[in-house]
Chain A
Amino acid sequence: MSHLGRNLSALVDGELSPAERDRAHAHLAACQQCRAEANALRELKKRMRGLPDAPVGDALTRRLMFIGEPGGPVPLRGRRRPLPRAVSGRGRTRHRGRYVALGAACVVAGLSVTAFSLGGSPSVPGPRVTPPVEMYSVEHAMTTGEIPFSGPAAVPGPEIAGSSQVP
């Protein structure tokens, strides 16, 4: 007589079809050994249901994840997640190098932006001069014997303290 075998745990878990379940029950009624195993499985299942939820440690999780992809972060739902505490010495060095490189790139980028901004301003130190075009216009007219043409009237320029003498 063949015993229930793998169908025994399926019977305990309620995963058999009604016809298979009827045949299994008929076998259990006649087979003491299978009946004892079925009782043992039910008892184990009952005890496991009674256990509280135990937290899974990070170390276990990381070890489990690194089984699939040794030497690198484990993909989790499409994202890479840095796990610096549990990486090996080699991985820790690699991550530190990446952070240093990232920081250096940020510094270079910042300096470049600053330099580009500074490079656009005049390189020669000196006063900022808004040409007093109306005064210049009068001076030009004095030289040419023409009427002075108007410049930008709203231009705030340095007032002339003296005028060029036209001899």
Chain B
Amino acid sequence: MTCREGLAGRLPGSLATIAAMVALLAPCLLVAACSRTAAATAESRESSLSGPSGAVDLKPTPPEDCGPGLKLLREAAEAGSTVSYQGVEMVSTWAVTGDSTMIADVWHRSGGSTLVQAALAGAVSPARQAGISDDTDSQAPEGVLGVTAQLVSLLGADYDLSYEGPGSADSRPAQMVEVWREDGSLAARFWLDQETKLPLRREVFDSSARLIGEDVFIDLKLGAAAAAGTPTVPARDVTAGAQLTAVDLTNMRARGWPVPAALPDGLSLFEAGEAPTRSGEVLDLSYSDGLFVVSVFMQRGDLPAKLTGWQKITLDGRNVYTAEPDQRSITWAGQGFVFTVMADAPPATLNQAVDTLPYDPPPGFWGRLSRGFGRLASWANPFR
């Protein structure tokens, strides 16, 4: 402030007025430039996935640095990998299908492994142990509390980010970043550790400003104290799957794999991979707008007659199965594929994503009879 007053005192009055106007308009111009950059980035990403060449990598193009909000979130994504931390993570969701709360002990070593021991809580028996899900890959998971480098890039492209000043989370000083939709509604709010920028808390809102998700770290330890308490888990003997490019996906579409380039609600395909299993190749597709993520797993085949542990429900007129009790996992069969969808997204977004993928409706009485006679005829055909 002192510097600005000195400069104004040396300039003539008109120049001072112009300088003041420029100073006032600069944030607006900056926001406009950011919006244009974000729109161009989104358009570029969309065209790269749906274009005929498909030679562009699936990774979203990071938008230019538009402000402190995006910068802080980028630092937070990096901190999720480089900072050693240990604590209890509590994930709560509020949905029409039911509320759920999940608690997990999390250990992460700087640049190394992340161990998660999750136990369901809330409406479900808190004693139920999901077991340790260890991952010895130094790159995975990429971040924490939904803050990864790729998702932050998407977030900067699809939303407006703003730095809201200091705050507090888990009794630690924090910096707050808010995520806003184009219609002016608040989409999410992040609390980042002031010292390390590690995400401490996240709140997610629907378009009606209703809180639908909250991720919180409790009893967090950082640095050497966290690294010292990390349990040792033997590494899994796994063979890494393959990451797919847009060209690979184009080839897979030509072979009949129904790979959507995007899902409704602005969810674009930003990551794809495949992994071998005993029952065949599994295609793993990830769609997101930076805030909500929908993973689609598809595999050739059909569901067995009975799915133990799954509950049959009707979703928008479709007969699907949901994994009890979270109802964030949906599976069904259609056109020779088994689809499994997992979502960190509102139910409406999940429903629209499910509607996008193939589905075989029940044949009905006559259809079923016709199909059965057709099969009998094929058996009796000596020339087949």
CA distance A117 to B324 in the complex (A): 29
- The verdict on A124 contacting chain B, using a C-beta distance below 8 Å, is yes
Is A163's CB under 8 angstroms from B340's CB? Answer: no
Q: Which of A122-141 contact B (CB under 8 A)?
A: 122-124, 126-134, 136-141
Residues 91-130 of chain A, each 1 if its beta carbon lies under 8 Å from chain B, else 0 = 0000000000000000000011011111111111011111
Q: Give the tally of cross-chain contacts (CB within 8 A).
A: 229
Nearest CB to that of B120 among chain A residues? A150
- Residues in A with CB closer than 8 Å to B146 are 144-146
Binds B, one of A5-13, A40-48, A152-160: A152-160
Contact check, A139 vs B369: say whether CB atoms are below 8 A apart: no
Q: Select one of B89, B148, B277, B372 contacting A161, CB under 8 A.
A: B277
B306-342: contact bitstring with A at CB < 8 Å (1 yes, 0 no)? 0111100000000000011010110101011010101
CA distance A146 to B323 in the complex (A): 18
Tell yes or no: A166 within 8 A of B by CB. yes
**Which chain B positions have C-beta within 8 A of A160?**
238, 275, 277
Q: Which of A121, A127, A137, A149 lies in contact with B279, CB distance below 8 A?
A: A127
For A163, give its contact among B59, B151, B240, B368 (CB under 8 Å). B240
- Bound-state Cα–Cα, A119 to B278, Å: 27
Chain B contacts with A in 230-245, Cβ cutoff 8 A: 238-243
Say whether A167 contacts B128, CB under 8 Å. no
Residue numbers in B under 8 Å from A116 (CB-CB): 365, 368-369, 372
B344 touches A146 (CB 8 A): yes
CB proximity of B118 to chain A, nearest CB, Å: 5
State whether A138 touches B135 (Cβ < 8 A): yes
Q: Once the chains bind, are A143 and B271 in contact (CB under 8 Å)?
A: yes
B276 contacts partner chain A, Cβ-Cβ < 8 Å:
yes
B329–A137 contact, CB under 8 A?
A: yes
Judge whether A87 is part of the interface by a CB distance below 8 angstroms: no
> Contact residue range for chain A?
35 or more
Which residues on the B side are within 8 Å of A126 (C-beta)?
A: 300-302, 336
Chain B 292-305 interface 0/1 with A at a Cβ cutoff of 8 Å (1 = within): 01010101111111
Q: Which of A115, A119, A143, A152 contacts B324 (CB 8 A)?
A: A152
The interface size bin for chain B is 35 or more
Q: Does B178 make an interface contact (CB < 8 A)?
A: no
CB neighbors of A among B34-74 (8 A): 59
Nearest residue, chain A, Cβ from B292: A144
A151 at the interface (CB under 8 A from B): yes
- Which B residues are in CB contact (< 8 Å) with A143? 141-142, 148, 271, 286, 293, 295
B267 close to A (CB within 8 Å): no
Q: Chain A residues with Cβ under 8 A from B104's Cβ? A: 147
Residue contact B323 to A142, C-beta cutoff 8 Å: no
Q: A118-B372, A129-B279, A131-B340 are in contact. Are A139 and B295 (CB under 8 A)?
A: yes
B264 at the interface (CB under 8 A from A): no
Question: How far is it, in angstroms, between the C-alpha of A87 and the C-alpha of B299 when the chains are bound?
Answer: 67
| A154 B309 Cβ-Cβ under 8 A | yes
B102 within 8 A of A: yes
A165 interfacial contact with B, CB 8 Å: yes
Whether B174 sits at the interface, judged by CB under 8 Å, is no
Residues of A within 8 A of B91 (CB): 146-147, 149
Q: List 21 A-B contacts (CB under 8 A).
A: A118-B371, A119-B369, A123-B371, A126-B300, A127-B300, A140-B344, A144-B141, A145-B80, A145-B146, A146-B141, A148-B116, A148-B130, A151-B309, A151-B323, A156-B308, A158-B277, A160-B277, A161-B277, A165-B273, A166-B139, A167-B139
Question: 14 more A-B contacts (CB under 8 A) besides A149-B130, A150-B102?
Answer: A114-B372, A117-B372, A119-B371, A126-B302, A126-B336, A133-B323, A142-B140, A143-B293, A148-B116, A150-B120, A152-B310, A158-B279, A162-B275, A164-B243
The 4 closest A-B pairs by CB, nearest first: A152-B309, A115-B372, A119-B372, A164-B273
